[in-house]
Amino acid sequence: MKDIYLDNNATTAVHAEVVDAMLPFFTEQFGNPSSMHRFGDQVGRSIRQARRQVQSILGAEHDSEIVFTSCGSESDSTAILSALTAYPDRKEIITTAVEHPAVLSLCDYLEKQGYTIHRLSVDSKGRLDRGEYESVLSDRVAIVSVMWANNETGTIFPVKKMAEMASAAGVLFHTDAVQAVGKIPIDLKETKIDMLSLSGHKLHAPKGVGVLYVRRGTRFRPLLRGGHQERGRRAGTENAASIVGLGLACRIAERRIDEENTRVKSLRDRLEAGILAVVPSAFVMGDTQMRLPNTSNIAFEFIEGEAILLLLNAAGIAASSGSACTSGSLEPSHVMRAMSIPYTAAHGTIRFSLSCDNTQEEIDRVIRAVPPIVAQLRSMSPYWSGDGPAQVDESFTPVYA
Ligand code: PLP
C-alpha cells in the first residue's frame, strides 16, 4: 500500500509540471540572465515571467516588488535586518512568541546585541491580544514581524489589521507568510503590509528558493551585497531553474486556491471529526475558526507525540509532532508552551497537514489507523487507566507558563 503523506507544512512534493518546466534550465537554457546575449535573454525572460506569477498570487501592485531569495529564512532575516539598518535609531522589534525559528532565533541574537524584543503572547487557542500589541507599538520600534499563519497549529493571525495599526504608528510591518501563500487568498494591494516572506518548498516548488515582497517606497537595505541582481536588493546570480519552478507553482496554487479551501478543507475536517468521534481525551489545538484549511493539530492527552509518530510511520503514515525530539529535547515546542496548555496534552500533539495531492481513501485509512495506536500507547501510560485518565498527583501535570 502506498504511504500517506500528511506533513505538507514541513515540505511538499514538487509538482510534475514544475519539474518539467525547470529541466531546460539545467541544459540548453543555461545562460546568465545578466548577460547581453541570446542565452542570457532567454533566461531573463523566464525569470520576468516567474516574477509576474508571484506578483499575481500575492496581489502585489508591481512585479518590481518581488525579490527572489534562497528560502523563507533568508527572506525573514533580510526583512528584519533591513529595517534595523534603515532605521538605526529604533532599537525595538515586535514579534510573537510563536514565530518560526527563522524569526525567533534572529530576535534572540539581536536581543543579545542590545535590541529590545517584544514577543507578543498567545492564549490557549493561539490567539494574540490586541491590547498587548497596542501597548508596545511606538516610534521606537523598527519593525513588526508577525507570521500570517502558524506552521504548527495553522492559526491565522489578523495581520491586515495589525499592519494598519503599525502603519498608523509609522512602523514597518513584515509578515512571514510561508505557510499562508497558496492556502488562503492574499491580496497585498488591499493591505498596509510592507514586506512578506514566502518559500517555494511549501507550495510544491523546490527547496532553496523563496521570495521577499518589498512594497514600493519601503526603505530597504540589502542583506547580500555585490551584483546588481534583483535591482540591487539581493546580490547573487539568479537560481533560474528554481525561480521558474516557483513561478509556475504559484500559478498552479492560485488556480487551486478554491480547491484548497473546499476539497482539502473538507478532507481535513473529515479527518478531525473521524478521529475525535472515537478517541477520548483528544482535542484540536489552536483557533479552529481562523485556521489554514489544510492543518489539523490534535492533542492526544496522556501519551507522547513521538511514540504516536513512530507507530504512524510504521503504518505508512507521515505526520509530525509538536515536540522537538529531533533537536535533542523532549520538551514540547515553543508554540505549545506559549499556549500554556497542560503538560499532558502538550506532549502528545500531532500535526496532520494535507495538500491537494491527498485523497479521501487516504484520510479514511488514517482515521482507521489512529485509534488503535492511541489505545495501545495509553495502555502503557501511567496517566491513563482503563478507559479514562488516571488519578495522578496534580504536581505531576505542570502547565507551561
Ligand atoms: N517560516 C515558517 C512559518 C515556516 O514554516 C518555515 C519552514 O518551515 C520557514 C519560515 C522557513 O522556510 P525555509 O525552509 O524556506 O527557510
Write down the H helix ranges in 59-100.
72-86
- The answer to whether 296 and 154 are in contact (CB under 8 A) is yes
The question of whether 71 is a catalytic residue gets the answer no
The mean pLDDT values, 10 residues at a time, for the chain of 401 residues are 95 98 97 95 97 98 98 98 98 98 98 98 96 98 98 98 98 98 97 98 98 98 96 97 98 95 97 97 95 97 94 97 61 91 90 97 98 95 83 58 44
Q: Give DSSP secondary structure letters for 352-391.
A: EE--TT--HHHHHHHHHHHHHHHHHHHTT-TTEETTEE--
Quick: pLDDT tens for 108-132. 999 999 999 999 999 999 999 999 9
Nearest-atom index, ligand 1, CA of 151: 5
Q: What is the pLDDT of residue 401?
A: 44
Q: Residue 380, CB half-sphere, CA atoms under 13 Å: how many?
A: 9
Pocket test for ligand 1, best of 107, 156, 179 (most atoms within 8 A of CB): 179
Q: What is the pLDDT of residue 393?
A: 61
Pocket test for ligand 1, best of 155, 156, 199, 335 (most atoms within 8 A of CB): 199
CA of 178 relative to ligand 1 center, distance in Å: 6
Q: What is the pLDDT of residue 92?
A: 98
- The alpha carbon of residue 370 and the mean position of all alpha carbons in its chain are separated, in whole angstroms, by 25
CA of 261 relative to ligand 1 center, distance in Å: 21
CA of 289 relative to ligand 1 center, distance in Å: 23
